[in-house]
Amino acid sequence: MSEKKITLPKEIDEDKKKFSLRPKRLDDFVGQDILKSNLKTFIASSVKQNSSLDHIILYGPPGLGKTTLANIVSLEKNVNIHISSGPAFSKKGDLVTLLSNLSFGDILFIDEIHRLSPVIEETLYPAMEDFKCDYVIGNGPAARVMQISIEKFTLIGATTRLGMLSRPLRDRFGIPLQLGFYNPLDLKKIIIKVAESLDIQIEEQAALEIAIRSRGTPRISIRLLKRIIDFSVVDNMESINLKLVKESLKKLEIDVLGLDAMDLIYMKCILDNFNGGPVGIENICAALLEEKDIIEDVVEPYLIKQGLVQRTSRGRVITNKGSAHLMSNNN
């Protein structure tokens, strides 16, 4: 009896694979319909006027498509995009050099823009408003300020924490766009599209089950899909069905609401260690040995949206719904 061979999905060059999984046009971008419609209008207007697009701030939880949207804007406008992050600018000269090399209409995308230093922020103000940069040459009494004119450009900032942006910087963005969690039907469309691009067959109910457990986040949907593909390959499955998805997610410790081990540990910590709260974030971080940014940016947003946890002035509190969910998981 011949042994059945495991058929791996066709290999794709890693850089091409990453890019191919991202939509390239707004029409291909699934979800965020109001944001997408408004952005289409703003882009069309700037193209008609042959002007640079106003500065854009994209904000919302991680994994919702902020970087993808920035790349789409550059493709729709047919301009270059220069990608960086807030912590990458350690010196004023780094930013001035980058700004002075931009062409008309180019996009400068800064991820984690809330992590810019005050000195870098102040350099951005005249660049965003007047398209000029002030640069200090020399030291001490001999130092002089030289003003550099730069081409009109569009700054696209991305942040998970809009409140951490200083008011002067926030006010200079003419187009604020908030990304919210996706509904399961939109996530299902994304999962099916990604599966098709990887030459993987997936049943609609299976895709919907992954979507329901993806915390409203496309990045998580794609990650779960890839892990379920791993299980399907090892089990010699010709396609991904609902049974395989449920079994795989159980092995991955993803529950019916999409909560993972870290979410449940966080909730149990508040319930068991602090009698359900209220408890300050610092105490939670100390108990879990976890960074505050991870708790606030990754763990809490979805739990709060689902009504499992409340963030009050006195601290975090487990809701009745949260307590009931923990009890159901223990049964």
CATH no. of 183-251: 1.10.8.60
Q: Distance between CA atoms of 155 and 287, rounded to whole angstroms?
A: 39
User: Which residue is catalytic, options 219, 227, 268, 305?
Assistant: 219
The CA-based dihedral angle spanning residues 257, 259, 261, 264, taken in that order and rounded to the nearest 10 degrees: -90
Distance of CA 145 to the CA centre of its chain: 38
Residue 177 has pLDDT above 80, yes or no: yes
Rounded CA-CA distance 271/274 in Å is: 6
Give per-residue pLDDT as tens, 217-265: 999 999 999 999 999 999 888 889 999 999 999 999 999 999 999 999 9
The active-site residue, picked from 111, 159, 170, 172, is 111
Is 67 an active-site residue?
yes
| pLDDT score of 68 | 95
Q: What is the mean pLDDT of the chain?
A: 88
What percentage of residues in the chain have a pLDDT greater than 90?
72
Task: Give yes or no on whether 32-178 and 183-251 have one common fold.
Answer: no
Does the pLDDT at position 11 exceed 80? no
Q: Does the active-site annotation cover 314?
A: no
Determine whether 22 is an active site residue. no
User: Cα 77–80–85 angle (5° rounding)?
Assistant: 115
Write out the CATH class of domain 261-330: mainly alpha
* Band of pLDDT at residue 148, cut at 50, 70 and 90: confident
Q: Give the pLDDT confidence of 88-143 residue by residue, as tens digits.
A: 888 888 888 899 889 999 999 999 999 999 888 988 999 999 998 877 666 666 66
Judged on CB neighbours under 10 Å (0-12, 13-18, 19+), 62 is middle
Where do we find the tokens 């002067």? 168
pTM: 0.84
DSSP element (H, E) containing 209: helix 204-212
The residue from 24, 36, 67, 246 that is catalytic is 67
In the chain, where the domains are located: 32-178, 183-251, 261-330
Catalytically annotated residue among 160, 170, 188, 213 = 160
**CATH, range 32-178:** 3.40.50.300
